Structure 1
Amino acid sequence: MKNNSPAFRWQFLLPKYWGTLLLVALMYALSTLPFKVQIALGKRVGRLVLGRMKKRTNTIRRNLDLCFPKMSEDEKERLTVENIENTGIALFETAMAWFWSDKRVNKHVTIIGMEQLEELEKQGKGALMLAVHSMNLELGARAFGIKKSGTGVYRPNSNSCYDYFQYKGRSRSNRTLIDRRDVKGMIDALKTGKRVWYAPDHDYGRRRSTFAPLFAVENACTTTGTSMLVNASDCVVVPFTMVRDSNDHYTLTIHPYLDEFPKECEQLAAVYTNRAIETSIMAAPSQYMWLHRRFKTRPEGEQCLYAM
């Protein structure tokens, strides 16, 4: 497994990176505010920022139309507004994950189902932690890392200064990171009984992918990486969800591993994985990253599902 840990460089103090340093300083300052204040501010930031980003807001609405054609317009509008607010809250949740103390994280996050991972650990079995891009995923990873070591799959940021702080924030509390291009590193980690956080719910393009149903969309471009990792390492797939409830308390639930995962066929594995993804999203649909153009890659001959 490659060592991806970036080092702080004196060049980060140059004017080129002052904007990045100011952003990180602001994140730290905001993370020190009372929790309820952060949630309230997050909602306002979401409404303010996405209110000016019509393209992103339209993507949220379009995804909901595609996935839930039978949902009432009033329900989709309510879900859209809540999703916009949760997008703003996510900015604060990232700061919480990077800068809060272990004690403060534990106060706001409850973890259920850890005993299942302990049993797999006794068996020396690797666990591919099936994640979805919920808004609070960063905070969930941090809370998990306090209890158990884990390995996250991530994409290094092109801004080397921001990447340094991103890596340091994400690797707190017993968590290491693997570049998403380091497939061998993921397999090695799983083979040695480690837990790898993996989110196959986005559209990653045609390379190493197939088309499988997701909600009401018959052909969603779906990575075949899940089945590849399972077959190469003989690990098990363990879904989990991170949900913030109406009282603003978080619960990270580790669900039973998928004991019927179809190893013999990439296509069946993609269908099976997407069903598990649907279940995870529906645990808190307003907290999912709907602003991503999930269905941008289409089969040959099919038209784009998003307005150009």
Structure 2
Amino acid sequence: MLARLGVFIFWLIHFLPFRAIVSIGNGLGVLLYPLSAERRRVGMINLRLCFPEMSDIERERLVRAHFKMFCRGLIERSILWWGSAERICSLIRVEGVEHFDAIQGQPSILLTPHFVGMDAGGQWIAQHTDTVCMYANQKNMYLTELLLKKRARFRQQHLYSRQQGLRPILKGMRKGMPFIYPPDQDQGIKDGAFIPFFGVPAATMTSVSRIAQMTGAKVVPSITRVLPGSEGYVLTFYPAWDNFPSGDDIADTRRMNAFIEDRIREMPEQYFWLHKRFKTRPEGEERFY
């Protein structure tokens, strides 16, 4: 019942002007910062590991800024879920669209790391091509079904749970649908390895390299930046990576992590620091969280 009430309020928010929605998101971030001790602690640990040169005051300031950005991304999804296609596109400026156009009709991976604006970029992509992607089930089935419905509201989006494995993903890619893939969260090392992330060994999936090898896919990074105030977003498509895959999954994954690190340095407050990125540790190593 509470979930449905929350969704109803969320639906009402999307009728507001974008400037007002931005203000709600920022305000929610300010409110949640002192109330979210555990997530605050996770963010500070991540920043201490990734930016040891920062002072504690600088890290705290960055975590505060991230809470505002994170809540903006959350509240602004009300537009992505119920706003018109025209309204969504009016908020998004696209750079490097020629790199997106160049992969149409062929196997491709749109690499989309966990920045707060990624859902906005995802909805622009969904308006312009059919895609395949994976999802994780929520604890609440109603919310899982709602997320699936809203992420598939444009064209033909094919979403598969992680439990379904890669087979349907590969099938869709071979039909020319891009695979939207966020590869930068800790999912253990069953299908990955410990790869440096800001110099710290991090459990990282090596599947981008392996999928590209299996399908001949081009890898095109896709990063969405939230602009200041009520200016909206910039979705940037980068050139397809040359010499990828190289035949060395570990070297390819190091390259991927290095690319993500460079983008984080450009807008550190917009990366998803509240995730336990370094949860899985090498055997015998002390846990961080």
TM bin (shorter chain)? over 0.9
Residue of structure 1 equivalent to 2:205: 223
Scaled by the length of structure 1, what TM-score is found? Answer: 0.88
**Following superposition of structure 1 onto structure 2, how do residues 144-183 of structure 1 map, counting pairs within 5 Å?**
144-174=125-155, 175-181=157-163, 182-183=165-166
Q: What residue identity is the alignment partner of 2:136?
A: R
Q: Which residue of 2 aligns with 1:265?
A: 248
Listed as ranges, the gaps of 5+ residues in structure 2 are none
CA distance in 2, matches of 1:304, 1:118: 44
Which position in structure 2 is the counterpart of 1:131?
Answer: 112
1:125 and 1:170 map into 2 onto residues whose CA distance is 22
| Kept in 2: contact 1:242–1:250 (CA 8 A) | yes
Q: Which position in structure 2 is the counterpart of 1:65?
A: 48
Alignment map for 1:1-308 (pairs within 5 Å): 18-121=1-104, 124-174=105-155, 175-181=157-163, 182-217=165-200, 219-247=201-229, 248-306=231-289
Paired residue secondary structure (1:43): helix
Paired residues of 2:99 and 2:220 also in contact (CA < 8 A): no
Paired residues, number: 286
Question: TM (normalized to structure 2)?
Answer: 0.93
Residues 129 and 177 in structure 2, CA contact (< 8 A), matched pair in contact too: no
Partner SS state of residue 103, structure 2: helix
**Amino acid corresponding to residue 284 of structure 1 in structure 2:** M
Q: Distance in 2 between matches of 1:117 and 1:199?
A: 17
Aligned residues: CA RMSD: 1.6
Residue 95 of structure 1 aligns to which amino acid in structure 2? S
Distance 1:27 1:94 in 2: 9
Q: Deviations over 1:146-183 (max 9, x none)?
A: 22332222113242222221111111222332223330
Give the unaligned 5+ runs of structure 1.
1-17
Instruction: Specify the code of the residue in structure 2 equivalent to 1:238.
Output: V
- Residue type at the aligned position of 1:105: I
Q: Please tell me whether the aligned partners of residues 132 and 173 of structure 2 are also in contact (alpha carbons under 8 angstroms).
A: no
Q: Is the 8 A contact 1:200 1:222 kept in 2?
A: yes
What secondary structure sits across from 1:120 in the alignment?
Answer: coil
Amino acid at match of 2:58: E
| Paired position in structure 2 for 1:4 | none
CA distance in 1 between partners of 2:162 and 2:79 (Å): 24
